[in-house]
Amino acid sequence: MEYYIYLHIKSTNGEPFYVGKGKDKRCSVENNRSLHWNNIVSKYDYDVLFLEENISEEEALEKEIYWIKRIGRKDLNNGLLVNFTDGGEGSSGRPMNKNTKNILLKINTGRPTSDKQKKIVGSRYKNKFGAEHNRSKKVLCIQNNTEYGSMSEAGRELNISTSSVSWSIKHKRPIFGMHFEIKE
């Protein structure tokens, strides 16, 4: 799986204030953040910089420790970050107990997505396809030996659904007479 280390910086002056480990859209998720993080964001807004990309979870845990130590924590009076730990203790893939799931469900049910969050997530991926999209993986159609910039691009050009391309890759079997694989 591809992980990354991200840095949240104040939009007004570029000053760093948070280092995190993530994958997918974690860098732009605004809920489940500390009070200090929320206070900074409400006052200055924030931008995201990627410090490390396409690394394993183990590497991400190590790099998170490195970057937090390098920039320094505010609570220890040795830096600017509002992180409360030295990093490296991520919980990716850790199953949640039933009670925690129920609490989170109650908190988040009916909660609208903020306009700011929609803008951040939407602008990051809007009108970006194939190689231009920051997380696209090239796909090879084995039957016609054609390389596509992404699963969605292959689907559009071959007039099949993206989920069909994905299914073929996942199950390592052809679908509609075509067999796809991720191009390394």
88 versus 52: the higher-pLDDT residue is 52
Average pLDDT, the chain: 85
Three-state SS string across the chain, please?
Answer: CCEEEEEEEECCCCCEEEEEEECCCHHHCCCCCCHHHHHHHHHHCEEEEEEEEEECHHHHHHHHHHHHHHHCEHHHCCCCECCCCCCCCCCCCCCCCHHHHHHHHHHHCCCCCCHHHHHHHHHHHCCCCHHHCCCCCCEEECCCCEEECCHHHHHHHHCCCHHHHHHHHHHCCCECCECEEECC
pLDDT at 118: 73
Question: Residue 111 pLDDT > 70, yes or no?
Answer: yes
119 versus 128: the higher-pLDDT residue is 119
Residue type, 158: L
| Least confident interval from 4-8, 24-28, 46-50, 79-83 | 24-28
Record the tokens describing residue 94, joined without a space.
Answer: 């850790």
Burial class (CB in 10 A: 0-12, 13-18, 19+), 164: middle
Question: Residue 89 pLDDT > 60, yes or no?
Answer: yes
pLDDT at 101: 75
pLDDT at 102: 79
Tell me the average pLDDT across 38-61: 93
Q: Which of 113-127, 129-143, 150-164 has the highest mean pLDDT?
A: 150-164
Question: Residue 37 pLDDT > 90, yes or no?
Answer: yes
CA dihedral over 13, 40, 2, 115, signed as positive or negative:
negative
Q: Which of 78-82, 115-119, 136-140, 165-169 has the highest mean pLDDT?
A: 78-82
